[in-house]
Every structure is written in C-alpha cells, then in structure tokens.
C-alpha cells in the first residue's frame, strides 16, 4: 500500500470498517501506519492511544502490522491478515470497549483536553471515538 500524508487529509473515521472486517479503529490505524511508511507524513497524529490499544487487544505488534501494510495490495489483504493473526471472537468485546469510553471520563485530564480542545465543546457523554471524527472534521475545516 502507498504511504499517506495525514497533513493533507485525516485518517479514516474510527467507525469505518476495513474491507469486510467491522472492527472499530482498524481502518484508522491502518491509515496512521501508512503515514509512517517512507514518503508518508503522520502530521499531528500518533499511534499511541486508541491505535496502540487496538493492537494490544488484537495481540498484534505495531511493527509487524506496518510491514504487512507496506507489502499489501489493499485493505482486503490487510483485513484478511488481521483476521488470521488475531481472535475474531474478541472483536465484539474490543468494539464494546471503545464504545464505552466517553469524553467526560477524560475532562479532568489536562493533557487530553490540550490534545483534543474539541473535548470542551462536545457533550460529556460523547463517545471518544466519535470525538476523534469531530476533531478531524474541525481540524481539516481550518486548513
């Protein structure tokens, strides 16, 4: 897959499936890893946080997935590899865990609010994965 420049456009939404694999954060994580490939630009994004949590829950090393992405011909190939190298029965629990996290749980964390100023403007019950998409939209609207 080609490298991405995440200063030109955001990674995919946390809710967008990767090919036929409905696993929250996976397509977004793939985009962020593509941005770390030679010729890519991760910009203000990072792998730590939701993406690293996803990889930990899947039992997949970041460097290994990056290598798979670099060699893959497309999303379907990456999705098939992830399915083969993780436990699909865990996906529902992984998704549920992401769905449970709200912005309000992190409003007392000054670093979180500094990184995501939009957290002060959305309702506290907003799911953090939805806040990420809103943050992308706001950030790229300014560009």
Question: What's the token pair of residue 5?
Answer: 């420049």
- Judge if 141 and 120 occupy the same domain: yes
Range of the domain at 72: 1-90
> Is residue 3, in this structure, part of any structural domain at all?
yes
- Alpha-carbon gap, residue 57 to 75, rounded angstroms: 20
- The one-digit pLDDT tens for each residue of the chain (143 residues) are 999 999 999 999 999 999 999 999 999 999 999 999 999 999 999 999 999 999 999 999 999 999 999 999 999 999 999 999 999 999 999 999 999 999 999 999 999 999 999 999 999 999 999 999 999 999 888 65
- Tell me the longest C-alpha to C-alpha distance in the chain: 43
- Judge if 72 and 129 occupy the same domain: no
Cβ 20 vs Cβ 79: under 8 Å: yes
- Judge if 55 and 22 occupy the same domain: yes
- Judge if 79 and 106 occupy the same domain: no
Cβ 82 vs Cβ 91: under 8 Å: no
> Is residue 96, in this structure, part of any structural domain at all?
no
- Judge if 79 and 141 occupy the same domain: no
- Judge if 86 and 107 occupy the same domain: no
Phi, psi of 21 (to 5 degrees): -100, 105
> Is residue 39, in this structure, part of any structural domain at all?
yes
- Judge if 78 and 12 occupy the same domain: yes
- pLDDT, residue 98, reads 97
Name the domain count of the chain: 2
**Which pairs from 59-65 meet CB under 8 Å and 24+ separation?**
59/85, 59/86, 59/87, 60/85, 60/86, 62/33, 65/29, 65/30, 65/33
Distances in whole angstroms, Cα of residue 45 to Cα of each of 6, 31, 36: 8, 10, 10
What pTM does this model have? 0.95
């Amino acid at each position: 897959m080609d490298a991405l420049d995440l200063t030109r456009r955001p990674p995919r939404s946390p809710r967008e499936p990767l090919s036929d694999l409905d696993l929250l954060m996976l397509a977004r994580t793939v985009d962020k890893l593509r941005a770390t490939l030679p010729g890519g630009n991760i910009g203000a994004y990072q792998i730590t946080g939701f993406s690293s949590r996803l990889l930990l829950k899947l039992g997949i090393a970041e460097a290994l997935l990056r290598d798979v992405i670099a060699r893959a011909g497309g999303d379907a190939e990456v999705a098939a590899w992830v399915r083969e190298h993780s436990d699909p029965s865990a996906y529902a629990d992984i998704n549920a865990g992401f769905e449970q996290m709200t912005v309000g749980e992190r409003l007392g964390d000054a670093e979180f609010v500094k990184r995501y100023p939009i957290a002060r403007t959305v309702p506290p019950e907003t799911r953090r994965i939805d806040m990420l998409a809103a943050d992308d939209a706001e950030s790229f609207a300014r560009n």
